[in-house]
Structures are given as C-alpha cells and as structure tokens.
Amino acid sequence: MRTPIIAGNWKMNLLNKDAETMVTELVPLVKDADCEVVLCVPYTDLLTVRKCVRGTNIKLGAQNVHWAESGAYTAEISASMLKELRIQYVVVGHSERRQYFGETNEKVNLRAKAALASKLRPIICIGETLEEREAGRMEDVLYTQVVECLKGFKSWDFDKSIIAYEPVWAIGTGKTASPEQANAACKFIRDTIKKKFSAKIADKIRIQYGGSMKGSNVKELMAMSEIDGGLIGGASLKADLFAEIVNYNK
C-alpha cells in the first residue's frame, strides 16, 4: 500500500508572522491525519515554520533547489543548504517555474538528482498545458517529461521521490480535471514508469494530483486508484481549508 501524501505549496505567499499563525492553527487540526503532511514554503519562512512543526507530524519542504553544490549562482539555494536547515522535501519543475522561468526537463532532472544526493525527497512536477491537451498530445507530453525528468535514476531513488501530476490548465484557474481524467493521467504516468523502469518501481511510487484539489473534491479524487495525494496551492494558505483536505477520510 502507498501512503497518501498531501503537500501544501505556499508559492510566494505569507510573511513570517502570518506563516507562524497559520502553522500554529494547523498543527492541532491535522495531528491525527492518516496521510503524510508536508508544507513547502518560501525560503524566508523555512526557519519560522521549522520551529512551528518541530515535534509534530508535519514535514517541511522548500519550493526549489539548484543542481550545483556551490558556486556563482546568485539567488539560488543548494541542496546542502536546505539539508542543513533539516528540510525533508523540495518541489522541482513546478509548472510556474516552467512557464515563467524557462525550466526544462533537463534542469528538473538535475535538480531532482541533486536533492536525492543530499537525502532530500523531490516532488517532481509534470503536466500538460491546455493547448497540448486539446491537440491530443497529453500522453506524448507526459511520456517525454517522465523519461527526461527521471533520466539516470537508480531504483532506490524512486523510493524517495514523488511525482506530482499538474494539468497546467487546472492550476489557479478554478478548473479541475474530473476524477476520471486525473486518474487516467496518473495511470498513464505509472504505466510509463513501469515500461521504462519496472513494475515494482511503478507500483511503489506515489503520484499526487496537483490541479485545484480542495475540500469539495478531495474525497472523489483520493478515491481514485492511481492518485496517492495532492499538491495543494491556494487552499494550503488557510489552516482550516488545508486541514479539510488532509483529513479527507475523517
């Protein structure tokens, strides 16, 4: 059985004081969760949130990591820097990084492998745009992303990695893929991993849905056979809304 994982991605939101208030409210609301709970927060909130989640069931993540150990990479953060802060997870390849900052599959692969080398768990984001879906290219896009983003992974790397399927057309738009659409995409991702790597790896790896999961649809989405959790955006900024998602089976 794959342990469900619900991760909040705060994006570029919440100053320290607001972050502390939010997490302090969240801790008692999710303390009995049956899933793994992760908060991926801005760099400036990491120390504040680390203090708030210490001794709780909430794990801490960052939103990006560079592939180099050190060097002349102004404004970037290395995996060892995050590890020193006792960060456990890191998001790589988010659709907004791809859209606004030219992130490529090759760079996502390098970032993920750098995270793994420092014993961080990468949440590797993939997904198609509306244009690609409407052109009937969803499977081609997902296949290419899986192959290129996971290139060179060892069998044990998959045990520490999460895949987040993000239909780009459903992020921040209010649109949501139907449970069946989301499940079909996640199944295709799993089948691709099975084909390119192994059935054992495909069966074990956790695949999140990252397209506007919220309290009103989380039960239906989490009931799908191939969906093992969610990567939550806006709803993760409010303790009560995020807790409703985390406690989907209560």
Whether 166 sits among the annotated catalytic residues: the reply is yes
Helix (H, G, I), strand (E, B) or coil at 13: coil
Q: Show Cβ contacts of residue 136 under 8 Å, excluding neighbours closer than 6 positions.
A: none
Catalytic residue among 36, 103, 132, 166: 166
Whether 94 sits among the annotated catalytic residues: the reply is yes
Give the C-alpha separation, 24 to 46, whole Å.
Answer: 14
In sequence order, the β-bridge partners of residue 37 are 6, 58
H or E segment to which residue 229 belongs: strand 229-232
Catalytic residue among 94, 96, 128, 132: 94
DSSP letter for each residue of 146-192: HHHHTTT--HHHHHT-EEEE--GGGSSSS----HHHHHHHHHHHHHH
Give the C-alpha separation, 48 to 226, whole Å.
Answer: 34
DSSP annotation of 47 reads H
Catalytic residues: 94, 166
